[in-house]
Chain A
Amino acid sequence: MSAPPKEGNPVRTFVDEVWGSIFRHGLPTTDKVAARTALTNFFLHIHPVRVKKSAIRVSYTLCLGGLSFFLFILLTITGLFLMFYYIPSVDQAYQNIKDLQFVATFGLVIRNMHRWAAHGMVITVWLHMARVFYQGAYKPPRQFNWAIGTLLLLTTLLLSFSGYLLPWDQLAVWAITVGTNMAKYAPLAGPYTRYLLLGGRQVAQGALIRFYVLHVIALPLIGFLLMVVHFWRTRKDGFTGGL
């Protein structure tokens, strides 16, 4: 609760009023205050107010779902930074990456973080899936949330895959060539799928702009939407907790 106005120091009173208008409740000194804070704070409201102790044991969750989400946020932030420097053109993309590495302040570290966090997210999402399976946490009533999770794993893979092309180096182009070649083996639709993905018959400007748009807009939006549903269902279906 906001502090009652105090006689005397008007600056202190003003600061208290501003603080109280933003944070309606204090630090979680008691369970009651903690519950009120969690209920009235937008960011904390992602969690239920109370949860089974066994459901949040680190040895039970291994923090894998949370870490995947954390990496997604980190990738969004570092990705935004990279977007200021990167132009999705076959003539400029490679030089942009070189500039990021050697010219832009902290560009190298930010790019490295983006790259390693992307690999990390593929691993944590995968391990999260394994953890949920081994604990049977996909069983009723959580069947649908498992299906959403599977789609999130696919989105993560596609996000990583689409980002792979953007540096426009030999590693990028040939990895995408090999990867998209797999698509063409599908009967009937295969060659068309590949053509649609690449915007042409080989990895060139058409592919770069498509992968760029997929990587920075389409797939993050899809991923975000799926995550919102995934977290919502996790709350509504309840936490599993100890076996």
Chain B
Amino acid sequence: MATVVGGGNGKGDGRGRTVRTPRAPLPPLPRPITGPELASPPLVVRRREEEETVVTFPHLVWKEFLAGLAAFVFLLAVSIQVNAPLLQRANLAITPNPAKAPWYFVGLQELLERFPPVMAGVAFPSFVIIFMILTPYLDRNPSRRPQDRKVAIGMFTIYLCLAVAFVVIGVFFRSLAFNWDWTMVLGHPGLSSPT
């Protein structure tokens, strides 16, 4: 490595001496592609578009603006049409039936119906959180292509499906005393399940 004195700009070291920074050797010229290589192209052929770059302003900023605008208009339309729920004033003496957690935690409530509390309320969620954080360190497969990641994708899809299914069950199929009830969706108001 060259010892660079006085900034190494090749002009001087501040004491009247000329210091020349050695130039880095040029990279070797690419070897011409010969017949056998042409016959068997490399495994991964990158599309040209993947390497092509664009300036983020305006290309990305424009997309973000449009997405934000669309989201805002959509939310405004929903907010004008649908009111946020507001029930009676809180009363700790009256327990509603069923008492449900917010929808994103109702999956945990569903687990509580099926497993001992320590498992459903503590062990499962902790396991999921820790496993999720550790996912990139546990998945040693370097490929990002879906066809090389069948196990990972399969496991994650099962997790997603279970999570969604538990939330859907908790929200739409559990009524009085958190009992199973088809009628909320299928609609037989007179036949709701006994408590």
Contacts and interface: CB of A to CB of B under 8 A. Distances in A.
A120 interface: yes
Contacts of A243: 144-146
Interface string A130-144: 100111111110110
Interface string A153-190: 01001001100100111111111011100110111001
B43 interface: no
B55 A34 contact: yes
B57 A169 contact: no
A35 B60 CA distance: 13
B131 to A, nearest CB: 10
Interface in B77-114: 78-80, 82-92, 94-96, 99-105, 108-109, 112
A24 interface: no
A210 interface: no
Contacts, number: 220
Q: Is the interface of B mostly helix, strand, loop or mixed?
A: helix
Given A37-B57, A52-B52, A182-B105, A94 B47 contact: no
Nearest to B136: A143
Which of the four size classes fits the interface of chain A?
35 or more
Interface string A106-118: 0011011111110
Given A169-B86, A174-B95, A51 B68 contact: no
A167 B109 CA distance: 22
Interface residues of B, number: 71
Contacts of B92: 173, 202-204
A5 interface: no
A97 interface: yes
Nearest to B163: A126
A74 interface: yes
Given A35-B55, A117-B75, 17 more contacts: A31-B55, A74-B72, A130-B160, A133-B135, A136-B143, A138-B139, A139-B139, A151-B133, A169-B88, A171-B87, A174-B100, A178-B109, A182-B109, A182-B120, A185-B118, A185-B120, A185-B121
12 contacts: A50-B56, A66-B68, A70-B68, A94-B90, A116-B78, A116-B79, A116-B84, A147-B136, A157-B105, A169-B86, A175-B99, A187-B122
